[in-house]
Amino acid sequence: MTSNKPSRLKIAVLFGGRSGEHEVSLMSARSVIAALDPEKYSATQIGITHDGKWFTGENVLDALESGKTEWLDTVILPGEPGRSSIFTTRSTKIGDKLETIAKIDVFFPVLHGTFGEDGTMQGLFELADVAYVGAGVVGSAVGMDKGIFKDVMRANDIPVVDWIILRRSELEQDMDAAIRKAESLGAYPLFAKPANLGSSVGITKCNNRADLGEGLMEAAAFDRRILVECGVVNGREIEVSVLGNDQPIASVPGEVLPSREFYSYESKYVDGTSGLVIPAQIPAETAAHIRDLAVRAYKAIDCAGMARADFFLEKETGRVLLNELNTLPGFTSISMYPKLWHATGISYPELVDRLIELALERKAERDRTTREFRRNE
């Protein structure tokens, strides 16, 4: 007797990676995997170590956390576009044999930071011609680089905090000159950040010249490009989640009440002591303005799937400034992105379902594009 029960979609969840946000990725992936309905989905875990090795098997998350990966299977990606399977090698009497591990319907990257959120992984997915969750190459790359992102926002008349970009080579050649260049932005406090990293990794709030020198070196350890931006004095931190492809929607805004000087890595993922006010207690017209800016920014970088937009709201003037757009925001149980959607009426499991649907929609749209051109003779 045959069953009419629909087959489950095969989802590959990718996590870890060669990034300073490796541990955050593991936390996010654990939440995503737990939310995948076993009636709808068959999940395959793909873990990427700090040094870039890809593994799959049972309980890959636990293996990466413990560092004991010797019993896992090495992952080999398909070399044929559209063949959305993952492979490994098995030793036989006549040599190594390529063996299919699983056929994958949708790849779900939960890779924060470099080599995951910056367009590199998305480029690999595009070359393989597979369905994947989240933004494409351009949206990911522009969203990741804080300096280029601000250039694009300014070109689209979206207000941002004033900034400059310094290069690691500038610090090495003349630190005093680099500090003077940063100080030309205005009065302290200033913030020094790696241009291509998230989760507040490598960020320093600089209240004086000594802080700035230390902050620049800290940021330079994570990236060759360092962003220095003005601090927003008496600013409220407002965040909005965005969901969709060509017709994105924005959640209700939420407010972060940092337990430290700013919304640091520890506040986000370690102690969880920062307060989250959802929805943010702001005037309705301000909330509507912030949501509109979030959608405009999302479209400006050709984002897809999801993003979280982070704003500053000046208390005295009511001016709104866009800080960042995170194209693969934190997905842990205490992360703002899913919390904002829950307050808007979309639960965590429903959110995961929708992201998978959006990935399949986007793949179908890409399949409509002609890849060959034949000139009429």
262-293, pLDDT tens digit by residue? 544 555 445 555 689 999 999 999 999 999 99
Q: How far is CA 51 from the centre of its chain?
A: 20
Which architecture, in CATH terms, is 9-132? 3-Layer(aba) Sandwich (3.40)
Q: Give the fold, CATH level 3, of 142-160+233-364.
A: D-amino Acid Aminotransferase; Chain A, domain 1 (3.30.470)
3-state helix, strand, coil in the chain (%, to 5): 35, 25, 40
pLDDT per residue over 251-262, tens digit each?
Answer: 999 999 986 555
Average pLDDT, whole number, for the chain?
Answer: 90
What one-character DSSP code corresponds to residue 268? I
Instruction: Give me the long-range contacts of 277-280 (CB less than 8 A, separation at least 24).
Output: 278/252, 278/254, 278/339, 278/340, 278/343, 279/252, 279/253, 279/254, 279/343, 280/236, 280/238, 280/252, 280/253, 280/254, 280/255
Which of these, 159, 160, 158, 161, lies nearest to 296 by C-alpha position? Answer: 158
Query: What is the residue extent of each domain of the chain?
Result: 9-132, 142-160+233-364, 163-230
- In this prediction the pTM is 0.89
pLDDT per residue over 184-231, tens digit each?
Answer: 999 999 999 999 876 577 899 999 999 999 999 999 998 999 999 999
Class in CATH terms, 163-230: alpha beta
Position of tokens 């399977």? Answer: 85
pLDDT at 113: 83
- In the chain, where does DSSP find H-type helix? 22-35, 60-66, 120-128, 137-144, 146-155, 168-173, 175-183, 209-220, 265, 284-300, 336-344, 348-367
More confident residue, 46 or 266: 46
